[in-house]
Amino acid sequence: MKKIISQATIDRLPLYFRTLRLVEDEDMQIISSDELGRRLDITPEQIRKDLATFGQFGRKGIGYDVHELKIKIENILGLQNNWRLAIVGVGHLGGALANYVNFAPMGFSVVALFDSNASIVGSEVNGIKINAVSQLKRIVVQKAVDIGVITVPAVEAQAVADKLVAAGVKGIWNFAPIKLTVPASVPLVNEDLSVGLSALSYHMSVRS
Amino acid sequence: MKKIISQATIDRLPLYFRTLRLVEDEDMQIISSDELGRRLDITPEQIRKDLATFGQFGRKGIGYDVHELKIKIENILGLQNNWRLAIVGVGHLGGALANYVNFAPMGFSVVALFDSNASIVGSEVNGIKINAVSQLKRIVVQKAVDIGVITVPAVEAQAVADKLVAAGVKGIWNFAPIKLTVPASVPLVNEDLSVGLSALSYHMSVRS
């Protein structure tokens, strides 16, 4: 039985995970919350609070075992599943995601691409062939796709979500600016790049 | 004097703002927290709590004035500034951002592009010319750029941030997976697309 963790903490765990990977590559065996905080610009108190959520394994005055903590976070986030992604909609954003270098270190791999535009079906992005959306179910099953990534225009997004669910994906990552309806058994995360930019706008206007 | 609002609330405000714009286009004058929650998949309690942070202007049993609330959130987020963006690094991700359709409704406009690759300097993306990085300071001043967007590889990111700060940008939105050092007077928001994907992974593995 896993404990439910707050969204804010979940959002910080990938940052901890990536930093621990780098630190492990530097052959550090122990890291303090101060050092982790310095590298991430997060207060040590926040880090200790986040990590205490899933058990006490740091040692007071010494720090955290880098490898142990990395594996622990990997397991909490489920990254050891090495999820396989299919991207539907290979426009600018879909193409950028197909080439995004930060996925591999987290265990994510893009294994299939789909587009409804016949003029790009058959071509490749980052070595992955673009398939027609009509082939979605067959290829999702064949390539054992876990996660469907939706980067089509808003008006097409629900139909694509329905197809992905029917094909058996276990989760959906949606970039279309629309509320999708999917079964409760299929987790859905909505991404919106203007959220981060709006947060920046907030911080800029608070100061001026 | 503005009140500091929690990051989680700030991250929800752009979603409220966009929904209120849509609702206003539908000629609705009043919206309840229930209806806003239904459209966003956020609990009405959460919405009432978020909005109460910056004053009481909903009316109990009636709802919020759509236009008033929209303007209020626009002002809190500083979106009425109509910030002008320059993107440095016109690879896949920079190109996707130059074409991103969700920025304009929030008042953001991309006014300049820069790249160090001479073979693409002079060409256009979405009608905007790509300039050499050596021209950054001159063009940032000339085009009155407010926000520098960094989509170069990690090893180049700090040098680009230094150039943007020297050119006088008021904020930096960083996509490079590295911790940048900038003056405290220049707000910095780091964006990492694998965070949302990791959150999805978490929700998928909690259920399985």
pLDDT surpassing 70 at residue A2? no
Domain ranges of chain A: 7-77, 82-195
For A161-201, the pLDDT digits (tens) are 999 999 999 999 999 988 899 999 999 999 988 888 999 99
Taking contacts as CB-CB distances below 8 angstroms, the residues of chain A near B170 are 204, 208
Rounded-to-integer distance, Cα A52 and Cα A3, Å: 12
Taking contacts as CB-CB distances below 8 angstroms, the residues of chain B near A192 are 14-15, 102
C-alpha R_g of chain A? 20
For A125-160, the pLDDT digits (tens) are 999 999 999 999 999 999 999 999 999 999 999 999
pLDDT surpassing 50 at residue B1? no
CATH number for region B7-77: 1.10.10.10
Task: Tally Cβ neighbours within 10 Å of residue B127.
Answer: 8
Q: Which residue has the higher pLDDT, A55 or B164?
A: B164
Contact B15, A195 (CB under 8 A): yes
- The DSSP call for residue A35 is H
Mean pLDDT, all residues of chain A: 91
Structure tokens at B202: 């978490």
In angstroms, the separation between the Cα of residue A135 and the nearest Cα of chain B is 24
Contact B50, B9 (CB under 8 A): yes
Minimal-distance CA residue of chain A relative to B207: A185
Mean pLDDT, all residues of chain B: 91
For B141-196, the pLDDT digits (tens) are 999 999 999 999 999 999 999 999 999 999 999 999 888 999 999 999 999 888 88
Cβ–Cβ below 8 Å for A14 and B198: yes
Cβ–Cβ below 8 Å for B76 and A202: yes
Taking contacts as CB-CB distances below 8 angstroms, the residues of chain A near B203 are 171, 187, 189
For B118-141, the pLDDT digits (tens) are 999 999 999 999 999 999 999 999
Mutate to test the interface with B, among A43, A190, A200 (most CBs of B within 10 A): A200
Residues in contact with B78: Cβ distance below 8 Å, sequence separation at least 6, in sequence order: A201, A202, A204, A205, A206, A208
Task: Output the pLDDT for position B194.
Answer: 87
Write down the architecture of domain B82-195 according to CATH: 3-Layer(aba) Sandwich (3.40)
Task: Output the pLDDT for position B171.
Answer: 98
Task: Output the pLDDT for position A207.
Answer: 73
Taking contacts as CB-CB distances below 8 angstroms, the residues of chain B near A206 are 2, 4, 78
Chain-centre distance of CA A192, in angstroms? Answer: 13
Cβ–Cβ below 8 Å for A108 and B147: no
Write the single-letter amino acid at A63: G
Write the single-letter amino acid at B94: G
ipTM for the assembly? 0.90
Structure tokens at B163: 């150039």
Rounded-to-integer distance, Cα A102 and Cα A51, Å: 23
Helices (H), B53-119: 66-77, 92-98
Minimal-distance CA residue of chain B relative to A91: B96
